[in-house]
Structure 1
């Protein structure tokens, strides 16, 4: 009998409540978001609270919470609760560090989910996660690349193209070579980092944490096809 994704559900609840509440109390997002100037002035707690509110509006909130549920459940099954937490926090830490260095005022849990995507990628490479998990991590990285496009028209076109590409990754995962999934995550992590997008360091942070923990006692491997 499979264990329920307790950590995923718990973090989802802790994130969803303030994320939804901010639409009733708009000042909440401003009070909790990452603001490098305020963090430097002593409001260090914003590094943590900015993970439980969202700066991307209703669409961004829905995407971030949905991604947390899907990738979180897959990651918890493949990594176990402890590694799940380590990868989530590792991605969040790398993303927050990048945000501080780039002086970005924003909020969102996507950098934590990036850590889970990185962790899933390592689990897939090691044969501890199946193709669905590997494809989901790659699909998420592809969607993040949509943030590189600016302008309304470009965003619409990019979203359509990236949505189609992501769907192909998942639907046709059995037809793609195994190396394609980790390659997509690694390449896009590097590209996003080079273009000063904090999701790049977050993806790479999850990869590094999962790789560092790879030799420790692990949960029963998933069926890798």
Structure 2
């Protein structure tokens, strides 16, 4: 059972939903670089993960992806790696947001690291394809700011990304980690805080896999394997 995902989802969902009935909750908890620098309100870097700045639709999307990505990651990667990836995305994203002077709120940066970790180190194609799909979605949102044609491009890009999941059996294995890698570079260059968050997930996922990829030690001649 995805107990860790359920706990984090509940902790995130309660204030994320309460912000719509408690005026001022979201701005009081959001990442505000000016308030952090001038008044030392560093706690905002943590509370910003518990409220959402995308309105009702963005809130439901973030909570929904937390449930899906969290469940897949907990099943495929285990709880320790889940926690490390989620924390890495949160730290990288919040740090980037502060340094880039980008106010805001939401747990999408933590989800970016979970998605990238799935794309890099999961054994199953479903998990890898969903991780790659979320990497595309995390960047496609920026197109919505370009007006009607931006929204059309965003939907088209998301639809194209969904093909990774729908046709995952025929997708080359290298494409799953390549997609979040390209998204990480592109978003970092914009700059957008989701880029460093994706990059942190790629690094953690890759480093975690290193021990299992080391070649086995050669067996000396004349020594029989036991068992």
Q: When the two structures are superposed, what TM-score results if normalisation uses the length of structure 1?
A: 0.89
When structure 1 is superposed on structure 2, of 61-70 and 138-147 the one drifting more is 138-147
Equivalent residue of 2:13, what SS? helix
**Cα separation, 2, equivalents of 1:216 and 1:183:** 21
Give TM-score, length-normalised by structure 2. Answer: 0.88
Q: Note the alpha carbon deviations across 1:15-56, whole angstroms, 9 max, x for none.
A: 000000000113000110000111122111111000000001
Q: Which residue of 1 aligns with 2:36?
A: 39
CA deviation string 1:172-203 (max 9, x = no partner):
11111111111111111111111111111000
Secondary structure at the aligned position of 1:34 is classed as coil
Give the Å deviation of 1:215: 4.8
Query: Which structure carries more relative contact order (alpha carbon 8 Å, separation 6+)?
Result: 1
Aligned CA RMSD, in angstroms, stands at 1.4
Q: Residue 224 of structure 2 corresponds to which residue in structure 1? A: none
Q: 1:115 aligns with which of 96, 99, 113?
A: 113
Q: Which residue of 2 aligns with 1:221?
A: none
What SS does the aligned partner of 1:7 have?
Answer: helix
Structure 1: runs of 5 or more not aligned? 218-225
Counterpart mapping for 1:1-225 below 5 A: 4-40=1-37, 41-124=39-122, 129-149=123-143, 150-215=145-210
Question: In terms of Rg, which structure is larger?
Answer: 2
Structure 2 gap ranges (5+): 213-227
Q: Structure 1 CA distance, aligned partners of 2:56 and 2:191?
A: 24
Equivalent residue of 2:209, what SS?
coil
151-160 vs 13-22, which deviates more? 151-160
